[in-house]
Amino acid sequence: MNLRHHAVAATALTAALTLSACGGGSSADDGGGDAAAAGAETISITDAQGRSVDVPVDPETVVVTDWSVIRTLGDLGIEVDAAPTANIDLPDDLAAYVDGDIPTVGTLQEPDYEAINELEPDLIIIAGRSGNPEILAEMEKISPVVLDMSVRYEEPSGQLTVTEERVVQLGSIFAKETEAQEQMDEIMAQVEEVGTAAAETGDTALFVQVSGGTASAYGPGSRFGIVYDAFGYADTGAPVDEEGSHGQEISQEFFTEFNPDVLLVLDRAAAIGADEAPALEVLNNDLVNTTSAATNDKIHVVDGFSWYIANASPSSLRQMIADIEATL
Amino acid sequence: MTAPTTTHPARTTRSGGVRPVHLWLGAGVLAVGSYLSLGVGASSVGVVDLLNPSPEAWHILTTSRIPRLIAILLAGASLSVAGLIMQRITANRFVSPSTSGTVEAAVLGILIATMFFGGTSLIVKMGIAIVTAIAGTLIFLQMLQRIQHREGIVVALVGLMYGGVLAAITTFVAYQRDLIQYLDIWTTGSFSSVLEGRYEPLYIVLVVGIIGYVFADKFTVIGMGESFATNLGLNYQRILYIGLIVVSVMAAVVVVVVGAIPFLGLIVPNVVTLLLGDNIKKVLPLTALAGAGFVLACDVAGRVIIHPYELPVATIAGAIGGVVFIWLILRSAKGASV
């Protein structure tokens, strides 16, 4: 497997050399771009696929296919040169990407390789829904420097530590390592604080996703396991679901049986920008209304973009903290 | 048409036909199954609690379990009856709402409704889905009339391919509008969201079901061809359209409220007619009972297998239905009556 990676890297390197030879004239015209092309100053980054990549510091043209990475860079004051199509409602801090001035390069799952190729990027960052070996291989045909900055973790406890690592790595590419570390230190302290407060309430919480009238529950081992692991809520005692990423379909009876004190609701329709029945309408029924969460007014719709679309950036973590604080 | 026994299609059957005892037996088994199903669910209200329910248990029963049971019975019965009617109209055992583009057309209708009337009421969605289902089925019937070899599997294949084309169009449009993940919900039938106040439009199928029953024998006659039906003094086109509307309304209503349940309309009528003969007017009530029972069994299994979570009824019906479908095809390939 390692051998294969080396082979891919070697091919990419050859391609890169050929490409830069061809494009030499144009990059000279750019003036500022030659630092990247010449590789004057590089930093070595180990990405999510275990590759060690030499990345030019402060690269000129940067294409990113993941909103967590874009939001992280935004938190560090960096605007990227191409982003995925925004057919979701973007939060205010990403307003720059709404009006279409910045080129779009396909969807989160399927990048538009031709559009990316035209931009002649000095750095391509894939992650999350596009962070897989197949897309990486395609991207390496386009740019000499490709990174997979996905945040992947086995246990829920990994979410924060891997996120911190990625945020700091991204900071270091743009010479903002210290700033990135400071933001994450602050966030970690806030998580600790909120988590302690939630744990002290002794309340149980249930995280559900509502989509097209159907509800799915997420347990401690799921992609939203951070609710229990870092944010300190107790789980409802429902059997732990093995399926990590998509939750398990539940009936409304489930709510009465496991009677959560706090109900965190991800309105998936709103998160992906679809116009469907709002989640709270689906949950406003005679069964959910008998739960402690309903009677204590602790049913809270979380920010879909931060929890579901881009959960690995400082701003998203701040929003997640705020969502948990709202239930305290 | 007063003597239904004379309208027996030209098919050989191994059975002695439907007798009242079959109907009573079927109804009895379904009643017991229905009662037991009321004791299955995520909350801890069990079969024993049904005898002397506490106020809490009664609340669960009336808001969740009983509506769910009614929805299951209506959906199962109507999709099976829709399949039976289609098989008679086309005189082909492999035709059903899910092998003729009807369901796919209904899903396309829901997509259109979501795109242009997003967040509107169930009734608007249903209306559009019914219209597209009728149009989709009509196109299928038009295609059928142009097919030289109208026997068995060829027609089913054409229907499946046609449904595939409609599904592809739907997927393309949904992809453009970033609604792909909604398709899953519409095409995966599930009763988990059925509650009091959230399933009542399903009662529409009762009304069209009665219309279907009244016209049952005439559907068999028009299945034998336009000239045959006209010679018997029937208005071929009118009966065809009535059948078309009955089937499309049933399929569309079920798809909108619970989602698509694969193979149901195909396998249930086939198995029932294999066992009990072809007389549609006698077989129709039993097909309804059997369809309701099949969906009930699938849904209870879905509630039990990963309790307290749920598997969608479509997943289980698809697994069982697929096996039965293959068995039916193999059986017909061996030269049995098709």
**pLDDT surpasses 60 at A36:** no
pLDDT for the residue B15: 52
**pLDDT surpasses 60 at B127:** yes
* The two three-digit tokens of residue A305, written as one number: 């973009």
> In this predicted model, what pLDDT tens digit does every residue of A144-201 receive, in sequence order?
999 999 999 888 889 999 999 999 999 999 999 999 999 999 999 999 999 999 999 9
Asked if B121 is an interface residue toward chain A (Cβ–Cβ < 8 A), one would say: no
> In this predicted model, what pLDDT tens digit does every residue of B265-302 receive, in sequence order?
999 999 999 998 888 999 999 999 999 999 999 999 99
CA–CA gap between residue B57 and residue B241 (Å, rounded): 46
Q: Which residues of B touch A87 (CB under 8 A)?
A: 177-178
Asked if A196 is an interface residue toward chain B (Cβ–Cβ < 8 A), one would say: no
Count Cβ atoms within 10 A of the Cβ of residue A129 and give its class: 0-12 exposed, 13-18 middle, 19 or more buried: middle
Q: Greater confidence, B187 or B72?
A: B72
Percentage above 70 pLDDT, chain B = 92
Answer yes or no: are the C-beta atoms of A121 and A101 closer than 8 Å: no
Pick the residue of A256, A272, A283 with the most B CBs within 10 A to test the interface with B by mutation.
A256
Answer yes or no: are the C-beta atoms of A106 and A63 closer than 8 Å: no
Count Cβ atoms within 10 A of the Cβ of residue B234 and give its class: 0-12 exposed, 13-18 middle, 19 or more buried: middle
The reply to whether residue B59 touches residue A214, judged by beta carbons under 8 angstroms, is no
Asked if A277 is an interface residue toward chain B (Cβ–Cβ < 8 A), one would say: yes
ipTM score for this prediction: 0.83
How far A217 CA lies from chain B's nearest CA (Å)? 8
Asked if A106 is an interface residue toward chain B (Cβ–Cβ < 8 A), one would say: no
**DSSP label at B334?**
T
Asked if B233 is an interface residue toward chain A (Cβ–Cβ < 8 A), one would say: no
Q: Which of B335, B270, B323 is nearest to B88 (CA)?
A: B270
CA–CA gap between residue B230 and residue B164 (Å, rounded): 34
**pLDDT surpasses 60 at A273:** no
Q: What SS3 class is residue A138?
A: helix
pLDDT for the residue A152: 92
Q: Which residues contact A317 (CB under 8 A, 6 or more apart)?
A: A160, A163, A187, A191, A306, A311
* The two three-digit tokens of residue B277, written as one number: 């003969």
Whole-number Cα distances in Å, B208 to A170, A325, B204, B296:
62, 53, 7, 21
How far B43 CA lies from chain A's nearest CA (Å)? 5
pLDDT for the residue A4: 44
Q: Greater confidence, B124 or A55?
A: A55
Asked whether the bond before B308 is cis by omega within 30 degrees of 0, the reply is yes
CB pairs under 8 A between A and B: 100
Pick the residue of B193, B257, B313 with the most A CBs within 10 A to test the interface with A by mutation.
B193
Asked if A214 is an interface residue toward chain B (Cβ–Cβ < 8 A), one would say: yes
The reply to whether residue A286 touches residue B63, judged by beta carbons under 8 angstroms, is yes
Q: Which residues of A touch B193 (CB under 8 A)?
A: 213-215, 251-252, 282
pLDDT for the residue B335: 59
Q: Structure pTM?
A: 0.85
Kindly state the helix (H) or strand (E) to which residue A54 belongs, with its residue range: strand A52-56
Pick the residue of A216, A240, A249 with the most B CBs within 10 A to test the interface with B by mutation.
A249
pLDDT for the residue A155: 84
> In this predicted model, what pLDDT tens digit does every residue of A207-228 receive, in sequence order?
999 987 889 999 888 889 999 9
Closest residue of A to B190, CA-based? A214
> In this predicted model, what pLDDT tens digit does every residue of B105-120 receive, in sequence order?
999 999 998 888 765 6
pLDDT for the residue A239: 81
Tally of CB atoms within 10 A around B200: 13
